[in-house]
Structure 1
Amino acid sequence: MSDTAPYYEDDRPRRKPWLAYALVVLGLVAVALIGKWFAGAGAQKNARSGRPAAAVSAVPVGLGDMPVEVNAIGTVTPIDSAAVRSQLSGTVFAILFKEGQQVREGQVIAQIDPRPYRLSLSQAEGTLAKDMAQLNSAKLDLKRYETLASQDSVARQTLDTQRATVGQLEGTVAADRASVGTARLNLQYTAVKAPFSGRIGLRQVSVGAFVTPSDTAGIATVTRTDPIDVAFTVPQGQLNAIAAKGSGLPVIAYDQDGKSELAKGTFSTFDNQIDTTTGTIKAKARFANPAAVKALFPNQFVNVKMLVDTLHQVPVVPVSALRHGAPGDFVFVVQPDNKVKLTVVKVGPSDGRNTAILGGLNKGQLVVAEGADGLDDGSSVRLAGGKGGPDGPGGAENKGKRKAAQ
């Protein structure tokens, strides 16, 4: 037999139970601390001891006039634009314009070979003269027959036949006069004229080219540039407000960057239906565009700003004071105890720097304009340059701003 005692499972060293209990307790404490760190929001979160007051810049709510404007991207659209074509076939004798120049209504811009049409006019005039002579002769014969008929010296049928002959010749003469008018009109068409005043584009034909009325490009394109329209779209939600004001609302056209003012005009009219795919309606504004200025060019893209109305003496705050979140649009209002209150507001129009507040704020209230990142409802704040608290160095400054705002 071996002197060594047998080894049993129960004889192995056991862990101390208090160590496991300690680990469990420490884990619970850690969870509690983490939960306490993340738990709570708003005032409870910011009421934790040891968190310093946030430095912010605040401004009082003031009253001011705020314009209600429509901003859109527009396209410069000429009132009239036409490709000038020859109204008859012929050879171009002369081009009487310079590309890009301003032309007057009725100004001759090209000359078609007029000789064939002069000959046609002469032929039509000769036919008219011949038929007029026959008509005059027939009228004299009719007069003689009427005299003889009154003396019962000619048959009644002869008189009726002569009257019919005179009527036929009168019809022939009328047709001849129309032919003369057509030939004369064709001769006038050999001088191709501008249909209206405007700027002429690049020429599409050269001297010696044979042109016809079916040429799609024509001789050149004339575009009316003064006055000129700008077409843009307006959201259907603003349709009623603009329609209530009627035409004549002031409109300003800016360049593509929206910085330089190009021209001032007035609102003209809306289209007759709303585009269901975009929920907008087309509108037009008219601008004076004298040739000496040439601020607007056809098919140019511009930024349009139309003044619809002006809100008088409404609460206004800087754009930087507005916040956006789950509650909607809101601002942080500084309270007398130097804590902020989250206040939901109804936002109105903006001019890029300030925004009108249509509900939720009153004149004199102090709102946080800068430094609002990280603030919650109930956060302690101090104005830049002072400490928080009504009795601290910053407290007197806060009171002075609120008093001045009132």
Structure 2
Amino acid sequence: MITITVSLAALLLLGTAGAVYRTEGQAQTPRAAPPPVPVVTRLAETRDVPHVIEFVGTLQPLQAVILRAQVDGILTDVLFKEGDFVRRGQVLARIDDRALRAALAAAQAQLARDQAQLRAAELDLTRARTLLQKNAGSQQVVDQQTAAVDQLKAAVALNEANVEAAQVNVSYTEIVSPIDGRIGMRQVDPGNLVRQADASGIVSITQVDPLSVVFAVPQQVFAAMRDHADEPGGKAVEIIDRASAAQLAEGEITSFDNQIDTTTGTARVRAVFANGAEKMTPGAFVSVRIATGVSADAVVVPKLAVRPGVEGDFVYRVANGQAERVPVTIGYSNDDLAVVATGVASGDAIVIDGYSRLRPGATVATTEAPKPDQPARTAQQTIISRQ
């Protein structure tokens, strides 16, 4: 009995010693704290932010025509050079008119013959009426002569129409420009037979100044844009080169389509702008920017700092070396920046890179990003400038 008690006491002593040893060992090797997360931040700033919508549009001429022969014949003269700028009424080509002038002369001769016959018939009618008044003639002769006069009047009217039609056909042998514009590449050379049915025509002319741009607007913003166009300056647009992002011209909206395309869910809008220097060519694609308003004295952060979440948008703000997740309400945004309505104040350090490894409360090592080219405007500076 005494031996068993001593053995139990020894076992308890050994277990207690082992527990003490393990506790002392853990105390000697504490877990290392995680290193700070490297992030890039930028300070939220206050400035006036214009609301801009951008669309892709196609440059189109206000007028474009294809000159076609209106009478069949041999093309005798081409009086233009490809690429010339031509004026309305300028003669551009001629068609052999000899057969048409002969037809005109025949119509004029027919008219002259019928006019002479009409004059003779009118004299006969006058004499028949005089004889009838003297009881020396009959009513039947007067009626017959009256009918002959009416018939010849109709023949004269028909011949006058034939002469006018022949004159028109002769005029068609001189092909003139109906608009001011830049002429294209000719489709037929002198000496060829041209016909009214030729689909390609002789040459095309395109109006280059002013020029228009047609762009498709989603139905979600179409009504708002149309309403905004009624406000002062609401029709102004900028034409932007898609390659260099440089402004090409300024213009204004002239028309909205009358229905939404059910296939694309968009409606077409046309804007017109001056192109006197002909920097732009019809058919090219451009960007169209339209200002729809402005957020004055708005708190602005880079667009990439705003992250989507299950409960809404949020940003990571750095304070005292730690990151905190802040819910935000976005009033307006574009490709570069976002206007924060609630959640962030001007001067807050907002994470714009490195947020993928962040957790609320994480220690961070910050690097401040350089400021954008456009300087921030403080609320005080804005008030002074307005005064």
TM-score normalised over the length of structure 1: 0.77
Structure 2 CA distance for partners of 1:100 and 1:129, relative to 1, 3 Å? same
SS of the residue aligned with 1:324?
coil
1:332 aligns with 2:300: no
Q: 2:292 — aligned with what?
A: 308
**Out of 244, 247, 250, which is 1:261 matched to?**
247
For 2:263 and 2:123, locate their aligned partners in 1 and report how far apart those are by CA, in whole Å: 77
Q: 2:26 — aligned with what?
A: none
For 1:240 and 1:355, locate their aligned partners in 2 and report how far apart those are by CA, in whole Å: 24
* 5+ long unaligned stretches in structure 1: 1-47, 386-406
Once the 2 structures are TM-superposed, how far is the Cα of residue 327 of structure 1 from its aligned partner?
4.1
- 1:157-236 matched pairs, under 5 angstroms: 157-236=140-219
One-letter identity of the residue aligned with 1:64? R
For 1:384 and 1:181, locate their aligned partners in 2 and report how far apart those are by CA, in whole Å: 86
Q: 2:273 — aligned with what?
A: 287
For 1:368 and 1:52, locate their aligned partners in 2 and report how far apart those are by CA, in whole Å: 18
Q: 1:133 — aligned with what?
A: 116
Once the 2 structures are TM-superposed, how far is the Cα of residue 258 of structure 1 from its aligned partner?
4.6
One-letter identity of the residue aligned with 1:261? Q
Once the 2 structures are TM-superposed, how far is the Cα of residue 348 of structure 1 from its aligned partner?
4.0
One-letter identity of the residue aligned with 2:282? P
One-letter identity of the residue aligned with 2:300? V
Question: 1:270·1:284 contact (CA, 8 Å) conserved in 2?
Answer: yes
Once the 2 structures are TM-superposed, how far is the Cα of residue 351 of structure 1 from its aligned partner?
5.2
For 1:49 and 1:323, locate their aligned partners in 2 and report how far apart those are by CA, in whole Å: 31
One-letter identity of the residue aligned with 1:129? A
- 1:4-403 matched pairs, under 5 angstroms: 50-246=33-229, 249-290=235-276, 293-335=277-319, 337-350=320-333, 352-384=335-367
One-letter identity of the residue aligned with 1:74? G
Structure 2 CA distance for partners of 1:182 and 1:257, relative to 1, 3 Å? same
One-letter identity of the residue aligned with 1:285? A
One-letter identity of the residue aligned with 1:267? I
SS of the residue aligned with 2:308?
strand
SS of the residue aligned with 1:323?
coil
Q: Deviations over 1:115-144 (max 9, x none)?
A: 111111111111111111111111111111
Q: Deviations over 1:20-77 (max 9, x none)?
A: xxxxxxxxxxxxxxxxxxxxxxxxxxxx971344454544433221122221221111
For 1:323 and 1:382, locate their aligned partners in 2 and report how far apart those are by CA, in whole Å: 20
Question: 2:64·2:204 contact (CA, 8 Å) conserved in 1?
Answer: yes
Question: 1:249·1:308 contact (CA, 8 Å) conserved in 2?
Answer: no
Question: 2:218·2:267 contact (CA, 8 Å) conserved in 1?
Answer: yes
SS of the residue aligned with 2:135?
coil
Once the 2 structures are TM-superposed, how far is the Cα of residue 370 of structure 1 from its aligned partner?
4.2
One-letter identity of the residue aligned with 1:316? V
Question: 1:62·1:317 contact (CA, 8 Å) conserved in 2?
Answer: yes
For 1:285 and 1:77, locate their aligned partners in 2 and report how far apart those are by CA, in whole Å: 10
Count of residue correspondences:
335
Question: 2:303·2:334 contact (CA, 8 Å) conserved in 1?
Answer: no
SS of the residue aligned with 1:125?
helix
Q: Deviations over 1:196-230 (max 9, x none)?
A: 11111111111111111111111111111111211
* 5+ long unaligned stretches in structure 2: 1-30, 369-387
TM-score normalised over the length of structure 2: 0.80
One-letter identity of the residue aligned with 1:95? V
Question: 2:46·2:299 contact (CA, 8 Å) conserved in 1?
Answer: yes
Q: Percent identity?
A: 37
Question: 2:52·2:289 contact (CA, 8 Å) conserved in 1?
Answer: yes
Once the 2 structures are TM-superposed, how far is the Cα of residue 315 of structure 1 from its aligned partner?
1.5
Q: Deviations over 1:152-185 (max 9, x none)?
A: 2110111111111111111111111111111111
SS of the residue aligned with 1:295?
coil
One-letter identity of the residue aligned with 2:126? K
For 1:308 and 1:173, locate their aligned partners in 2 and report how far apart those are by CA, in whole Å: 66
For 2:195 and 2:304, locate their aligned partners in 1 and report how far apart those are by CA, in whole Å: 66
Question: 1:251·1:305 contact (CA, 8 Å) conserved in 2?
Answer: yes
What's the RMSD between the two structures over aligned residues? 2.2
For 1:235 and 1:309, locate their aligned partners in 2 and report how far apart those are by CA, in whole Å: 18
For 2:260 and 2:344, locate their aligned partners in 1 and report how far apart those are by CA, in whole Å: 36
SS of the residue aligned with 2:357?
coil
